[in-house]
Amino acid sequence: MTTGRTDLGQGDMDRALGGVKQAVTLASEGEDDSLQVLAYTSLGNIYGSRNEKLSSFRNYWKALAVAEKSKKDALIRIVTEDLTYFTRVNIMCNIWALRYGWP
């Protein structure tokens, strides 16, 4: 997970994506719901950085399902904040595109 996040910070999206996908696989095999939420939200962040909105949203949604299943308020709050930010950014981009005629 750390390697993927480091690569993301350095702008190497493809390498970061590979590292975080590996982390998602490992996290899914275990029982640690906090690690699963972190892995899915990290994957959502990377897809968001790559402007792959549907993939980003799907991973946030998976993180939310894990968080809700765990019934841990802190995890639910983390994912909800990420989803709220994702939604606001995309709505604002659409408003600007409509207002200024961006493609």
- Which domain CATH number covers 50? 1.25.40.10
Query: Tell me: the pLDDT tens digits for 36-72?
Result: 999 999 999 999 889 898 999 999 999 999 999 999 9
* Mean pLDDT, residues 84-101 taken together: 82
Q: Which residue has the higher pLDDT, 72 or 29?
A: 72
The DSSP 8-state label assigned to residue 30 in this structure reads S
Residue-number span of the structural domain to which 18 is assigned: 2-100
Q: What is the number of domains present in the chain?
A: 1
Length of the chain, in residues: 103
Cα 26 to Cα 7, 21, 36, 70, 78: the distances in Å are 18, 9, 9, 18, 21
Reported pTM: 0.76
